[in-house]
A and B are shown apart, each in its own frame.
Chain A
Amino acid sequence: QKEVEQNSGPLSVPEGAIASLNCTYSDRGSQSFFWYRQYSGKSPELIMSIYSNGDKEDGRFTAQLNKASQYVSLLIRDSQPSDSATYLCAVNAWVDTGRRALTFGSGTRLQVQP
């Protein structure tokens, strides 16, 4: 089982809709969760951090964390074509080499249709 799992997509939504991106993780002790946006050919850019259960809102983005169910999600309201990118979930988790490390999912590709 991978430490951090995401649906690879593509997730296609019409402009103006809400895009919902999901991520599950295996380490129950994880305390730090991040969403990065990566445009094609570019490096990841941090867009949200969340550390406690519940919702955290920043502009059109809302991160949701449920530690009991071990999932974290990202909602993008009023989706724009410029939101089309791959979204990487990252979790600070124990890895099999006996240390805690930022572990990335393989990303979900979002396509916003004009």
Chain B
Amino acid sequence: DGGITQSPKYLFRKEGQNVTLSCEQNLNHDAMYWYRQDPGQGLRLIYYSQIVNDFQKGDIAEGYSVSREKKESFPLTVTSAQKNPTAFYLCASNQGQVGQPQHFGDGTRLSIL
């Protein structure tokens, strides 16, 4: 089945630790996105990538990093510089053309230990 796979489903971060969230898609989509959702709020864009080996900062990129070495994969690292990382993280993808909807993975819930 085609889709977007995020792992792990739940993740716990210790003080000073970097953690990496995985996002893989087999939809042959060019563009991939990372969002953060806090309780009762909408989605805020962290980073996006429209092509392999290129990515752009979104609205809240500080404390996060990404890479796009393969079309199928867009991992997100939450660094120790992100002081309030507890949130629901969502990965999405689409063909990258303006006006197309995005489709989401199941999300990763990150908490601080």
Closest to B104 in A: A43
Known contacts A106-B41, A106-B42, A107-B42; A43/B98 CB under 8 A? no
Chain A: interface residue total (CB-CB under 8 A)? 25
Cross-chain contact of A32 among B45, B58, B99 (Cβ < 8 A): B99
Q: Mark B69-113, 1 if CB is under 8 A from A, else 0.
A: 000000000000000000000100000001111111111000000
Question: Once the chains are docked, how many angstroms separate the CA of A100 from the CA of B93?
Answer: 16
B16 at the interface (CB under 8 A from A): no
Contact A92 B99 (CB under 8 A): yes
The reply to whether B90 and A43 contact each other, CB–CB distance below 8 Å, is yes
Binding site for A on B (CB under 8 A): 40-43, 45, 48, 56, 58-59, 90, 98-107
CB pairs A–B below 8 angstroms (27 shown): A31-B98, A31-B99, A32-B98, A32-B100, A34-B101, A42-B106, A42-B107, A43-B90, A43-B106, A43-B107, A46-B101, A46-B102, A49-B101, A51-B99, A88-B43, A90-B101, A97-B59, A99-B56, A100-B98, A101-B45, A101-B48, A102-B101, A102-B102, A104-B42, A106-B41, A106-B42, A107-B42
Q: A43-B104, A100-B98 are in contact. List 15 more A-B contacts (CB 8 A).
A: A8-B40, A31-B98, A32-B100, A32-B101, A43-B105, A43-B106, A43-B107, A44-B90, A44-B104, A46-B101, A46-B103, A99-B56, A102-B101, A104-B43, A106-B40
